[in-house]
Amino acid sequence: MAVEIASEEKMLLDMVRDLAREKVAPRAAEIDATGEFPWDMKELLAQQDILAMPFPEEYGGLGSSELTILKVIEELAKACATTSLLLCVQQLGSLPIALAGTEEQKQRTFPRLATGEWMAAYALTEPGSGSDAGAMRTRAERRGDKYVLNGLKHFITNAGIAHINTVFAVTDPGAGTRGISAFIVEGDRPGFHMGKVENKMGIRGSQTGELVFEDCEIPAENLLGKEGEGFKIALATLDRTRPGIAAQALGIAQGALDFAVQYAKQRVQFGKPIIANQAIQFMLADMDIQVEAARQLVYHVGELMDSGATNFGREAAIAKTFASDAAIQVTNDAIQVLGGYGYMKEFPVERMMRDAKITQIYEGTNQIQRMVIARALSR
């Protein structure tokens, strides 16, 4: 059975690698330049069942291993970080339902999310509540068989595009983080609309914006888990999806390294390819060390999750921190290898560096990751 699974994984990864090279990479520069959501890439991933990977087979998904999902994110990110984020966020937005949802909630949402007919979003961050999620102000008030939501979320990936939004709101203002609850909010609910769309430095084709709730009514059965469990659900979700951002950073770094090596072989100065110069060789070697170390950390977390481990927050934080820091260093060095050409939008490495920066920030800044790691050490 293990041999069969390994063979299926190899076939899938080979398919994704070809797809990334032939279909995704040629679109990456245009997606970045226009800043428009890549509906064609969404359809491409849906048609190839890539968006079905995080969902169990009984709901129409592929039931892929975490390690396989991480490897697919990596392959897509080599070509286009925005496109890789489509899979990341489909998992992020739906994972709270997987962790705390009822069978009815899963039956209602997972089949259409697995086909890509529906997209998902994860709405935790607010203007005054980023790293400090406990400062949340969005309220959900129980009124009979309904909850009424009021508030604002921002920096939300897939804002205005997602059909299913996992939204965190305060149900008991006096209970601190234990007063936060999680809800499923469908995109067409009255009183729920999109606010400002952000104009970003990187991942420009991924739509990021505000979600506004003005007396938005949702049925009580849209509550995930029990009242007061929202903060726990949010943290458990991020522990499990943080490795996906590490995989994205890894893919960006590998893509930049690959391009820098290719360029260094072709660029001739002083009568020889610049890869023959020791200064360039050492730069490329250091880049390769960073990428390979990041890969081992990312894959290790995937293997831990697939083994059934329940406590991998430290390892997820280490992988995310190291891989994203490596992505910044490697993309910066790739630009240096290309010299003036690296600074031009004609070549992809400047886009890769802009894309890499967000991996140090979202799903928990690297400063927060270091706090997670330090707390694990103190225990």
Record the tokens describing residue 79, joined without a space. Answer: 């070509």
Record the tokens describing residue 148, joined without a space. Answer: 């009424």
Closest CA to 317 of 241, 372, 262, 250: 372
Decide if 363 is catalytic.
Answer: yes
Tokens 């997602």 found at: 162
DSSP string, 311-358: --HHHHHHHHHHHHHHHHHHHHHHHHHHGGGGGSTTSTHHHHHHHHHH
- Which amino acid would we find at residue 16? V
Q: What angle is formed at CA 23 by the lines to CA 204 and CA 201, rounded to 5 degrees?
A: 10
Q: What angle is formed at CA 25 by the lines to CA 155 and CA 78, rounded to 5 degrees?
A: 65
Burial status of residue 242 (CB atoms within 10 A of its CB: 0-12, 13-18, 19 or more)? buried
Phi, psi of 223 (to 5 degrees): -65, 135
Asked if 78 and 254 touch (Cβ cutoff 8 Å), the reply is: yes
Asked if 184 and 112 touch (Cβ cutoff 8 Å), the reply is: no
Which of 74, 315, 350, 363 is flagged as catalytic?
Answer: 363
Phi, psi of 285 (to 5 degrees): -65, -45
Going by the DSSP 8-state scheme, the letter that residue 272 receives in this structure is E
Burial profile 292-302: b = 16 or more Cβ within 10 angstroms, e = fewer: eebbebbbbbb
Burial status of residue 198 (CB atoms within 10 A of its CB: 0-12, 13-18, 19 or more)? middle
Residues 6+ apart with CB under 8 A from 30: none
Q: Which residues are catalytic?
A: 363
